[in-house]
A and B are shown apart, each in its own frame.
Chain A
Amino acid sequence: MTDQHEPADITTVTADAPQMQPLAKDPDAMANKIGLLFILGLICFLGFGVAYWQDAAFWLYGTLIGAGLVALGSGFIAWGKYLLPKGPFVEERHVLASSTEERTAFSAALMERGVAPIKRRKALGALLGGSLGVFSIVALFPLVRSLGPLPGDSLATTNWKKGTRLVDINGNFIHIDQIDVGGFATVFPEGLQLTDDGQAIDQTFLIRVDTEPFTTAKGREDWTPSGYVAYSKLCTHLGCPVGLYEQQLEVLVCPCHQSMFKVREAAIPTFGPAPRPLPQLPLAVDSDGYLFAAAGYNEPVGPGYWERP
């Protein structure tokens, strides 16, 4: 293409061949420029040393060492490109495959020396295979089975039971007068607000939608005392906390993939990839005015999984 010379054979080329000459028209001028790049690199590295020693801002010494490396690298490349033999050179591409005789001889040796005598002992082979098979299965016991407990029904259960009182993240009970209409809080089962299970599984979104009880779905008439409603905070899509409440539209929004759930209508999903409504926690009020769960969740919370009924 732009090559001015025919490629020279790399194995026989001599020092006076045109391909061995530098590409630069004026090699000395080029050497000066490359020298400047190396000096620039040197200055940057020294600057880095000083900046580090003086505990300068990290972006300053980072820039210095980065600039130094770029200058050094450019000089290196320019040296290789402009001052070393410009080429082009050529080498032969030898055929990778062996000759037919060598290949036949290899197959023959493989077959006669090993494969054929081994194949003769079919029973031994079966025993070896069986034993290796059993080994590879039992090896999975420590390598896989030991990694964790079996799921059992733990994905289907939460710590919410009949009578569990609601607490906020600081462990305070929720009083019926505490939240105004439009307000909300993330609640946990009493005593579990700081535990992994309480946070990851039991987290529940409590919203005061109204001052009066309302019905989210048939059969849930008395689940919303004083207009309070509680849904599992775990998105039924991928288990992100459904942490956005759009007050005007009365819609819960999952910040991860924007599923939306209608708060007044049993949290049915109206938009996005979530397949199911958020499970609703039936609420009740005790004689002191504090909220508690009238029952646990009646279905598994969170995303779908195979064993989910």
Chain B
Amino acid sequence: MTATATPRTKRQKKEAAGPYGNVGKTVDVLDERLGFAKGGRVFMDKIFPDHWSFMLGEIALYSFVVLLVTGVFLTLYFVPSQRLMTVPMDFPYKPLRGDTVSEAFYSTINMSFNVRCGLLMRQMHHWACDIFVASIVVHMARVFFTGAFRKPREANWLVGVTLLILAITNGFLGYSLPDDLVSGTGIRIADSIMLSIPVIGSYVSFFVFGGTFPGDIVIERFFIIHVLLVPGAIMGLVGAHLGLLVRQKHTQFPGKGRTERNVVGSPMFPVFIFKTQGFLFMVLGACALLGALAQINPVWQFGQYYAANISYAVQPDWYMGFLDGLLRVMPAWEFNNFGYTIPLEVTFPAVIFPGIVFNIAMAWPWIEQQFTKDKQMHHLLDRPRDVPHRTAFGVAFFALLAILFIASSTDVLANFFHVSLNFVLILMRVLCFVVPVIAYPVTYFICIELQGGGSLMGKRKRANVVVRTEEGEYIANPSDPRPGDAHEELDATPVPTFIIDEAVVVEAEEVVSEGGVKVAAR
């Protein structure tokens, strides 16, 4: 039997196919035509560092996938029209039978009651949106507190902040579509916010609504922005976000074998693909479980929006909470001079404050550079405690937003705790200033404290072996450290060149020689 003879048995066929079998053949066929083996190998070899916090961005990505899939389903049934119609007398939800409602509202409740899986898809869509924005915020906090936005990743930070703004915008637009009483009131408030913009406010409002509020076209306009323009922009920016990530490679936490010049972790193929694919299913499953078991936005209970009707104790989706809270706690400072009005009680909370928040967020990489004068490349992440001022600022910033979020339910809090509404409001005004001012120094000193203490980071828990002595006494002895967890001497981190200063270097060397592992830069 020679090698060229026609293979007959299974084994011979296998041998004839070469060491990589059909896979190898397919690669041959494709590579001859596309020449992808070299680039494909680089892609396949891309290393993803392993840390749970790198998964937060994946939640955002996959909840966006859920939004796209469920959103397409919803468009098949939703009618973006404010034209009025009568609910049929055989509609499953009896309280609405015979009511005059808009087609947008009817199609929303119709898909909830008359389309199999419709309500599930609607609730999944809404939950996925809340998760989408939440995961973006948490992912952003991770990037912020670990300094992952530093050079060379400033552009990707900007893309990320823009994605957050787009996500919030689209969340509000989508929330407005069912034309129910609660969302209609939300649009009314949005109109008043537009009106509050100095000089151009009334023009903005008239161009958005095609005339005076509510008009008959705003749902159609919001619909096309919600399903086409903003998602398109989000998709493009997500592509840019991931493209930059691949180009600049992942950051990683410092650790054994990890340097500024390498990436340690799992390869794209097959380990990361398996993990991330599994995670996509987990996020899908979580959204499905929430959509199935946790009611969200039951618009049929609110009823059709009529401009003269109003509901009570209604809070917006969580990501609009800080705006609503500030609108409540802001004092009534309206200025009327020279025959013109500046309604600062609206302009400041709803236009100027978010402007400040998102501008600080956008500019943060450069703001920080102004203080640190650090122009170096950074691929290794900071531990938050090692950058106490940044950490303290971030905590104070989030504390302010949290207080504003809580302030968006002053009425509910007053009812719940049986205290006066006036007291709750004044308390919130005070807390807006006090909490961030306290949060900053407290966080700062906690960071300094933690820097001094020995670290258990990355050490696995050790068992406590309880021993009974012959006298009947019990003693708990920690077991030996697990392999790899034992104390080991590390090389001293070289002092970065930008802070090289004779005195500092000398001091740092002294500390190293005394304490062994401790490396003090100052």
A140 CB, nearest partner CB in chain B, Å: 11
Interface 9-mer from B273-281, B397-405, B511-519: B273-281
Determine whether A142 belongs to the interface, using a CB cutoff of 8 Å to chain B: no
B360 to A: closest C-beta gap in Å: 24
Whole-angstrom distance between the alpha carbons of A145 and B339 in the complex?
26
User: What per-residue 1/0 map shows which CB atoms of B316-328 lie under 8 Å from chain A?
Assistant: 0000000010011
Tell me if B215 and A196 are in contact (CB < 8 A).
yes
Residues in A with CB closer than 8 Å to B198 are 306
Q: Are A1 and B260 in contact (CB under 8 A)?
A: no
Is B292 within 8 A of A240, CB to CB?
no
Contact B327 A77 (CB under 8 A): no
Contact between B195 and A256, CB atoms less than 8 A apart: no
Residue numbers in A under 8 Å from B484 (CB-CB): 1-4
The answer to whether A244 and B312 have CB atoms under 8 Å apart is: yes
If A69-B282, A77-B274 touch, does A58 touch B292 (CB 8 Å cutoff)? yes
Task: Please pick, from A68, A80, A88, A93, the residue contacting B272 in the complex, using a CB distance under 8 A.
Answer: A80
Given contacts A151-B203, A304-B334, contact A62 B277 (CB under 8 A): no
Which residues on B sit within 8 Å (CB–CB) of A85? 267, 270-271
Partner pick for B309 among A75, A92, A201, A243, CB 8 A cutoff:
A243
A55 & B278 in contact (Cβ 8 Å cutoff):
no
B394 at the interface (CB under 8 A from A): no
Q: How many residues of A contact B (CB 8 A)?
A: 89
Please indicate the chain B residues that have their CB under 8 angstroms from the CB of A72 in the complex.
Answer: 278, 281, 285
Q: Across the interface, do A90 and B214 meet the contact criterion of CB distance under 8 Å? A: no
| A304→B293 contact, CB < 8 A | no
For residue B345, which residues in chain A have a CB less than 8 angstroms away from its CB? 237, 273-275, 304
A134-171 CB contacts (< 8 Å) to partner B:
144-145, 147-151, 154-155, 169
| CB-contact partner of B483 in A4, A237, A275, A308, under 8 A | A4
What's the minimum C-beta distance from B101 to chain A, rounded to whole angstroms? 13
B189: chain A residues within 8 A (beta carbon) = 238-240, 256
- Supply 6 further A-B pairs (C-beta < 8 A) apart from A63-B289, A238-B327: A58-B120, A69-B288, A74-B282, A196-B212, A304-B341, A306-B197
Write 23 A-B pairs (CB below 8 A) sorted by A numbering: A3-B255, A66-B286, A73-B282, A79-B278, A88-B50, A88-B264, A88-B265, A147-B210, A148-B206, A148-B208, A150-B206, A151-B205, A200-B307, A257-B324, A257-B328, A271-B422, A273-B328, A274-B332, A275-B334, A302-B192, A305-B202, A309-B339, A309-B340
- Which B residues contact A (CB, under 8 angstroms)? 45-47, 50, 116-117, 119-120, 124, 152, 185, 188-189, 191-193, 195-203, 205-216, 247-249, 255-257, 260-267, 270-275, 277-293, 306-314, 324, 327-334, 336, 339-343, 345-346, 379, 410-411, 421-422, 425, 457-458, 460, 482-485
- A-B complex: 7 closest residue pairs judged by Cβ atoms: A62-B292, A80-B274, A76-B278, A69-B285, A304-B343, A73-B281, A66-B288
Q: Give chain A's interface residues, CB within 8 Å of chain B.
A: 1-4, 6-7, 10-11, 52, 55, 58-63, 65-81, 84-85, 87-93, 96, 144-145, 147-151, 154-155, 169, 186, 188, 196-197, 199-201, 203, 233, 237-241, 243-244, 255-259, 269, 271-276, 302-309
